[in-house]
Amino acid sequence: MEEVAVQDQEWYIGELSDTPHPIPLVDRSKMRPELMRQAVPFVGNEAPGTIIVDIDQRFLYFVEGRGLAIRYGIGVGRLGFSWRGVAEVGRKGVWPDWSPTSTMRRIIPNLPARVAGGIDSPLGARALYLYQNGQDILFRIHGTNEPWSIGEQVSSGCIRLLNEDIYDLFGRTKTGATVIVRNVRKFSVPAAKEPESASPS
């Protein structure tokens, strides 16, 4: 884990083999229990494979079917930055490069034009790119190298997960999957079960 900044190493306890970079594994004892990846009961009409993002509660749900969903803790955009609506996964990226939007660079002038994919990239290990009507809407579901931000409202609008969680979600999600981003959604009490990791595709 030589690529992880020294001041951040206290957050990590190992690594998950991945190419071209290993994924640092987070010490989850530092996180609130409800933010852990887990299987939860699900009541809704959404088809299996649908992603539902609950901005207010800081959870992302991957609908499994059979009355279950996989729930992930997330970080969300600051007030005024968050997008809401229905989109689809237009493409998927592995250790993707990050290019801030013109709006972000206008607000934060010292941002670089591009950061190469890797541990230091704000998009982390994986990214799901959201599209509407065949057009990239510049909204992503992605990993993060700031695990302390999960459960918080800190980013510039996109949805962030732990790198190990976006790796898991990436493996479950198909290109073309529906993504619903909204404010409040009520679900049943979580089941005490951690799902097996999905293989990335």
Q: Using omega within 30 degrees of 0 as the cis cutoff, is the peptide bond preceding 122 cis?
A: no
Q: Measured in whole angstroms, how far is the alpha carbon of residue 199 from the centre of its chain? A: 16
More confident residue, 7 or 87: 87
Place of tokens 């979600």: 169
pLDDT of residue 13: 93
Q: Read off the pLDDT of residues 142-173 as tens digits, 9 standing for 90 and up.
A: 999 999 999 998 766 689 999 999 999 999 99
Q: What are the Cα distances from residue 139, in Å, to 18, 43, 75, 130, 196?
A: 25, 27, 14, 6, 27
pLDDT of residue 108: 73
Q: Which of 142, 160, 166, 181 is catalytic?
A: 142
Reference 57, options 177, 179, 143, 184; nearest CA is: 184
Which residue segments constitute the domains of the chain, with CATH numbers given?
Answer: 31-182 (2.40.440.10)
Most confident stretch, 90-99, 100-109, 114-123: 90-99
The percent of residues above 70 in pLDDT, for the chain, comes to 84
Q: Does residue 193 carry a pLDDT above 90?
A: no
Place of tokens 């999960």: 150
CA atoms within 13 A on the CB side of 90: 14
The percent of residues above 90 in pLDDT, for the chain, comes to 62
Residue 156 near residue 81 (C-beta atoms within 8 A): yes
Mean pLDDT over residues 128-141, rounded? 95
pLDDT of residue 100: 76
Q: Read off the pLDDT of residues 37-62 as tens digits, 9 standing for 90 and up.
A: 999 999 899 999 999 999 989 999 99
Q: Which of 128, 158, 159, 169 is catalytic?
A: 158
* Pairing between β-strand 159-162 and β-strand 135-144 as defined by DSSP bridges: parallel
Sign of the four-CA dihedral 120, 130, 57, 41: negative
Residue 158 bears catalytic tag = yes
pTM of the full structure: 0.85
pLDDT of residue 6: 43
pLDDT of residue 186: 46
Over the range 129-154, which residues count as b (16 or more CB within 10 Å of their CB) and which as e?
Answer: bbbeeeeeebbbbbbbbbbebbbeeb
